[in-house]
């Protein structure tokens, strides 16, 4: 069984105050995680395997100050919440990019059942609220410094996660409320690591939540979002390491994207 103490210390979790299986505690865990662990696909860009077990992912986070994308982040967070006594399981989702759907079922998210109520939890997506999202018929809104978010019902077992953009609700992804295991994502994992049609193979993406918004880095730009206001900085092979350390705490790493 994994000892998560080192991860909790890295995340700055107050285990004395937050230890009960309450929604407040769940949201606290989510916030501490996303404020300290970036969403990133550096391993994919470098042609390296992703971290799909607890020891290697904790090593990546704690010692390298790195993160990962959905399979790495949500799988680890699922194990962490389970160790805390939460009723949590993985589900598959399909991302909508604004003009079309990605590979079906290739995104991993989590569902937590708490006091007979279900919540969508996702620490492995580049733009998500720092809290659990209720899965209810009345579409409860979760407010975040970045925007407003909600879960909408499509059918009995199908739902959509939506974000408000320019005063309109936009679907971010659709998910199925059906428990999955890591092996169910085998095709998606292979596709997003190796297939040139995958956005994660095509370009670098690093994104980290902040108390004031979000910082996101791509092949060409670093975008700082501060309470809805955006500032862009140019990224080059000569300055990317500075920005990696300055905004994400990642140092001593070469990214083939800039070779």
CA 126 – CA 88 distance, rounded (Å): 21
CA 71 – CA 49 distance, rounded (Å): 12
Dump pLDDT digits (tens) for 119-158. 999 999 988 899 999 999 889 999 999 899 999 999 999 9
The DSSP line for 22-34 is -HHHHHHHHHHHH
* CB neighbour list of residue 254: distance below 8 Å, 6 or more residues apart: 46
Written as tens digits, the pLDDT of the chain (259 aa) is 788 999 999 999 999 999 899 999 999 999 999 999 999 999 999 999 999 999 999 999 999 999 999 999 999 999 999 999 999 999 999 999 878 999 999 999 999 999 999 999 999 998 889 999 999 988 999 999 989 999 999 999 999 999 999 999 999 999 999 999 999 999 999 999 999 999 999 999 999 999 999 999 999 999 999 998 999 999 999 999 999 999 999 998 999 999 8
CA 138 – CA 257 distance, rounded (Å): 44
CA 96 – CA 53 distance, rounded (Å): 28
Which pTM value belongs to this model?
Answer: 0.96
Q: Running DSSP on this structure, what letter comes out for residue 3? A: -
Predicted local confidence at residue 99, as pLDDT: 83
CA 235 – CA 258 distance, rounded (Å): 9
- Three-state SS at 102: coil
Which alpha helices (DSSP H) does 63-152 contain, by range? 70-83
């Amino acid at each position: 069984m994994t000892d998560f103490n080192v991860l909790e210390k890295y995340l700055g979790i107050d285990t004395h105050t937050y230890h009960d299986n309450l929604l407040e505690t769940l949201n606290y865990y989510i916030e501490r995680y996303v404020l300290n662990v970036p969403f990133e696909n550096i391993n994919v860009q470098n042609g390296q395997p992703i971290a799909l077990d607890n020891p290697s992912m904790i090593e990546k986070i704690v010692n390298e100050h790195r993160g990962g994308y959905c399979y790495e982040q949500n799988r680890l967070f699922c194990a962490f919440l389970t160790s805390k006594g939460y009723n949590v399981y993985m589900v598959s989702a399909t991302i909508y990019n604004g003009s079309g759907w990605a590979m079906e079922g290739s995104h991993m998210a989590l569902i937590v059942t708490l006091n007979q109520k279900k919540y969508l939890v996702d620490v492995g997506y580049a733009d998500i609220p720092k809290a659990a999202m209720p899965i209810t018929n009345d579409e409860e809104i979760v407010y975040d410094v970045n925007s407003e978010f909600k879960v909408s019902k499509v059918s009995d077992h199908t739902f959509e996660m939506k974000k408000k953009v320019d005063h309109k609700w936009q679907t971010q992804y659709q998910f199925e409320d059906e428990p999955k295991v890591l092996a169910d994502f085998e095709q998606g994992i292979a596709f997003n690591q190796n297939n040139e049609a995958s956005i994660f193979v095509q370009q670098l993406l690093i994104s980290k939540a902040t108390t004031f918004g979000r910082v996101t880095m791509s092949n060409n730009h670093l975008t700082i979002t501060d309470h809805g206001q955006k500032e862009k900085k140019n990224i080059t092979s000569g300055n990317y390491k500075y920005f990696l350390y300055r905004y994400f705490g990642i140092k001593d790493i070469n990214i083939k994207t800039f070779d």
